[in-house]
Amino acid sequence: MPIDLRMPPVPVSFEVYPPRSEAGVAALHETIRHLARVDPRFISVTYGAGGSTGGRSLELLTHILRETHIEPLAHLTCVGNTWAGAASLIREFLDAGITSFLALRGDPPEGLSEDDAFLGDLESAAQLVQLIDRVQAERAPYTEAPIPGVPGAVRVERRRSVDIAVAAFPNGHPRSRHASEHIDALLAKEAAGATLAISQLFFHADDYLGFVQRSRDSGVTLPILPGIMPVTSPTRLRRVLELTGEPLPAQLAIGLEIEPTSEGQHEFGVAYAAQLARDVVAGGAPGVHLYAFNNHDTVLAVLREAGILTHPRQKEAAR
Ligand code: FAD
């Protein structure tokens, strides 16, 4: 079904990760400037499980908060943390002005299994959702800012309450012991207070649409954003499948393999992701969340090709 271009713009959002080097910082700031120009609903920043990138995540989130008009959304993980440690981390993010979170369990550090790793006090993302909610509730419900030129006077404003998103897995979570356990986990996360789910990447629209239907049948009501990753080389595809355990998407794999040039592979990967975006939106997805890999060209090309950027300003920005 084609997208009806008369409909309001489809909400888009992006995921980036904290740069690993100083050189990457300037390039990422430039990428964020480009992404912000298409008015995404938010830009999310990943968090290294065990706190390995915590400081750099917060720096980047603060940059988005100060330098753009876009909502920064902070991924937070609970693996390896104590209740007190997780609470003080949440306070630090709230103090920096961050009010949107993606609450995640996280994975054990590489090389360690679920059994021998220190997994911390919090056992699931649902518990982290509750903790974020509790930490914000303990804070004063208002902020006070001095009024310049009026000694002793303050402007009192009601604090914005936090929005908490969680992860969802269209093809199941590798840790699930039975087919619907990840839907039970999603129900638990919604019951804990989550108001949005963002999906793991997938390569077939039916995987996402079928999962949303099964979730609705089980009582999940929160919006589930489809997470789409443009994969533009066979090497990247192999790495992504290794990391996520997703089944091999034959059409994409063959298409990338038979393209003789890297430009051709890039074009094929963009076209594949654009078709996926069109199909899920046509099937009722509430928006499109793109894994940007800290590069704006590819994700903006996907949105352009999918016909999702309908506002003239967005089209101009993505050119
Ligand atoms: P949970 O919802 O707690 O659990 C995952 C699965 O475990 C469930 O689906 C269910 O099958 C099972 N389970 C949960 N609770 C129970 C229970 N009580 N009993 C039995 N089984 C249970 N990782 C990072 O380290 N940093 C990131 O920034 C990051 N960003 C991500 C963004 C998205 C959109 C997604 C989809 C994943 C991201 N991850 C990230 C990966 C994530 O941390 C891992 O997939 C992790 O293994 C699961 O996290 P979760 O929040 O879904 O955990």
3-state secondary structure 184-220: HHHHHHHHHCCCEEEEEECCCHHHHHHHHHHHHHCCC
Residue nearest to ligand 1 atom 53, measured at CA: 105
For residue 114, what pLDDT is reported? 61
Q: What is the mean pLDDT of residues 175-186?
A: 86
For residue 104, the SS3 value is strand
For β-strands 71-77 and 42-45, DSSP reports them as parallel
For β-strands 196-201 and 163-168, DSSP reports them as parallel
For residue 204, what pLDDT is reported? 97
Q: What is the H or E stretch that residue 72 is in?
A: strand 71-77
Residue nearest to ligand 1 atom 47, measured at CA: 107
Does the structure show a pLDDT above 90 at 47? yes
Mean pLDDT across the chain: 90
Does the structure show a pLDDT above 50 at 3? no
Q: Which of 34-48, 96-110, 283-297 has the lowest mean pLDDT?
A: 96-110
290/10 Cα distance (integer angstroms):
13
Place of tokens 């001095």: 146
Count how many Cα atoms sit within 13 Å of the Cα of residue 305 in the half-sphere of its side chain. 20
pLDDT tens column, 113-124: 666 556 788 989
C-alpha to C-alpha distances, 146 to 54, 140, 149, 240, 307, nearest whole angstrom: 30, 17, 9, 49, 46
- One-letter identity of residue 285: A
Q: What is the mean pLDDT of residues 9-23?
A: 92
Tell how far the Cα of 195 is from the centroid of ligand 1, in angstroms.
Answer: 16
Show the beta-strand stretches assigned E in 78-195: 100-104, 142-146, 154-158, 163-168
Length of the chain: 319
**pLDDT higher for 49 or 97?**
97
For residue 88, what pLDDT is reported? 94
Tell how far the Cα of 105 is from the centroid of ligand 1, in angstroms.
Answer: 5
Position in ligand 1 atom list of the atom nearest CA 201: 36
Position in ligand 1 atom list of the atom nearest CA 289: 34
248/6 Cα distance (integer angstroms):
35
pLDDT tens column, 155-169: 888 777 899 999 999
Cα-Cα-Cα-Cα torsion 119, 122, 124, 130, nearest 10 degrees, comes to -160
**Pocket, ligand 1, Cβ cutoff 6 A:** 46-47, 49, 75, 77, 104-107, 124-125, 167, 169, 173, 175-176, 181-182, 185, 189, 198, 200, 227
For residue 20, what pLDDT is reported? 85
For residue 139, what pLDDT is reported? 83
pLDDT tens column, 227-243: 999 999 999 999 999 98
Among 196, 191, 193, smallest CA distance to 168 is for: 196
For β-strands 288-291 and 196-201, DSSP reports them as unpaired
Tokens of 141: 């419900």
For residue 159, what pLDDT is reported? 75
Confidence of residue 22 (pLDDT cuts 50, 70, 90): confident
For residue 117, what pLDDT is reported? 54
For residue 116, what pLDDT is reported? 53
Tell how far the Cα of 93 is from the centroid of ligand 1, in angstroms.
Answer: 21
For residue 49, what pLDDT is reported? 59
Q: What is the mean pLDDT of residues 215-236?
A: 97
Among 292, 280, 247, 318, smallest CA distance to 10 is for: 280
